[in-house]
Structures are given as C-alpha cells and as structure tokens.
Structure 1
C-alpha cells in the first residue's frame, strides 16, 4: 500500500497545472511527470533512489535578503528543504515545514507564496545514503520583520545574505531563483 499516494496525487496536480517559466523548466516539468508516472511512492525517501523533495527559499519582506543554511552534509549555503513525509498534506506544506524546521523561525512568521517557483534536479554526493538524486520543487516564503533564525542540527550555520551578495559558491539554480524573486 502506498504511503505517499496523497502527496503523489498532489504532485501530479501541481505539475500538470504549473506553467513553466522557461523551456528548461518545461523539460524538467515533463521529466518530473514521467518519473512520477513510473514510480509508486515517488515522493517517499524510501521510494526510488531518485525521488521528489520540497524546498523553500526564505526572503525578507522587501526582498533584499535571503536566509540560507550552511548545510551539514553538503557543506554549502543552500535554501531550506528536504524529504517529503507521509504526514505532509502536500508538497507546498512539506516545503514550509522544512523551512520552519531548518531555519528555526516560528511557523507564524513565514508566509509561503502560493506559486511553485522552480524545479531543480540534482545528483547527490557521498554524504547521502541510499538517495542518489533529488527532484526538487521550490517555493519562496516571506519572513516577517524581526524573525530571527536558529541553527538546526542539519545545519552548521543559518544566516541572512544580501540578494546582491550571495555566498561565492552559491549554486546557479539558487542564484536564478533569487534573481526571479517576485
């Protein structure tokens, strides 16, 4: 019996209804739909080695700063995100949960923007166990003024970065997401 059937159904609805902003994002959208059709529990960590994840880029209200985590396993500054859990009502809720857990910000201080912002498919390094690839769905959340992050066990550090001065090794996909902030 599928543990993530409701999330996989949400994924299907989300991906079929999303208008990709570029040809590259459209290719990923179609790849994601094919992967979803080919695998039961495609959003479960215990599902296929390449599986769906949800993440969230946290920004301040004026969109001048982004909150990033220095990820313990990856050793780079990233947006918040991770595996979708069976208890998550949907993919957007998983992205929001990950942002709250990893940033230490109170749940009430984050307003998730309703639109899916970006897709990103990436291979994983040796710091991960059975996972080989993440098919990530990314949202943006706005933090209320004065919200202070707290480092989680998954992070080495959590810090606000000016949009115009991201860490030098910031991944191109995150830079693209930041440059397209609504």
Structure 2
C-alpha cells in the first residue's frame, strides 16, 4: 500500500472497528491521535507508536492455538511483527505467521467474512531495543484470526523465535485476554 492509501485504509479500519467490534472501554486514543496527526504508522521508526499485525491461529475446532516462543520478548505469544506493506492488513499478519512458524494453508477465519476488519486492536507498551536506539514505545497491533491444521509440520524461524507449538486455546488468556474473551463470545461451546 502506498502511504496515502495506507493512511486512508488504517483510519477507516480503526473507525469501523470502534463502531462494530470494540468494547465499551476500547477508545484507542493514542492510535486515533497519531492517525489525526499524520504520523507514519507504517514505519517502525515512528514514535510514540507504530503499527504491528499478528495472527491468532486456531485449530478448526478452536481448541488449540499456534504460539511462538519469541526470542526478544522471551515468552509465548501469537505470531506477528511490524507491519510490512501488503494489499490488506490481514495479509501482513499472514506473512508474519508463515515466516515465524512455517505453517502453510492458513485461512482467514469466517468471523472476518473475507474482509480486513481486525478481531482485536491492541495498543500495548513494548520495552524498545537499545541496540537499535529504540526507546520504549507502543505497538498498535491489528490482530486477525486464522484457521490451520495442527497436523501440518512447523518450521520455526529461529532468528526470531525459539520454537513454535500448538497449545490449548486458554493460553491466550495469559497475553491476549481480549482475544480469548471475544473468542468465547463468538465460538459456540463444543
């Protein structure tokens, strides 16, 4: 996406998310302020925050999720990373998931109805990287749901992750409680 198209798409995505998905305490104030100020949110050098995308990958029965042991952060998380130019935001998340886990055959979850509306937008603090002269800052993470077959082989990208593995979906509560809460609301018990 070209910068002007990116800005327009991000602003529209955030507005639609706030209108159609967000809970009563989700205001995304910093993200909305940065958009209004014209900050280059597609650049990782933009502070106080910039855009990331991530993939919450579920087994077809929604009982498992594919997680990575992140090298820098040192904990299990959903695959994702800094936004990389793509025709749609979920395609950036898809690329990150494929790169970090080696999983293939990912399908956008039916909840998205083939569109680019995030399941969750999570703005969170990150510590920064002194080696890159990065101060502590905020990642505005657009999170998308995908479905994959847990029987497929995994080939983790060892430069960025220590490992990738399928875990019980309840592990999302440790680092993505909004995702787990929303999943529980949209997933029929089974």
TM-score normalised according to structure 1 size:
0.83
SS at match of 1:135: strand
Work out the CA distance in 2 between the residues paired with 1:93 and 1:34: 25
Match of 2:123 in 1: 121
Whether 1:111 and 2:143 are equivalent positions in the alignment is: no
Mapping of residues 1-182 of structure 1, within 5 Å: 4-18=3-17, 19-25=20-26, 27-28=27-28, 30-85=29-84, 87-106=85-104, 109-113=105-109, 114=112, 115-127=117-129, 129=132, 130=134, 132-144=137-149, 146-152=151-157, 153-164=159-170, 166=171, 170-171=174-175, 174-181=176-183, 182=186
Q: 1:35 to 1:90 in 2, by over 3 A?
A: same
Work out the CA distance in 1 between the residues paired with 2:152 and 2:8: 34
SS at match of 2:15: helix
Q: 1:23 to 1:48 in 2, by over 3 A?
A: same
Report the CA distance between 1:43 and its aligned residue: 2.1
Give RMSD over aligned pairs. 2.3
Instruction: Kindly provide the CA deviation profile for residues 73-105 of structure 1, in whole angstroms up to 9, marking residues without a partner as x.
Output: 0001111111112x3123221111111111111
Work out the CA distance in 2 between the residues paired with 1:54 and 1:100: 13
> Would you say the 8 A contact 1:54–1:92 is kept in 2?
yes
Work out the CA distance in 2 between the residues paired with 1:116 and 1:7: 15
Q: 1:7 to 1:64 in 2, by over 3 A?
A: same
SS at match of 2:14: helix
SS at match of 1:24: coil
TM-score normalised according to structure 2 size:
0.80
Work out the CA distance in 2 between the residues paired with 1:51 and 1:64: 32
Report the CA distance between 1:119 and its aligned residue: 1.4
Aligned residues: 172
Structure 1 residues without counterparts, runs of 5 or longer: none
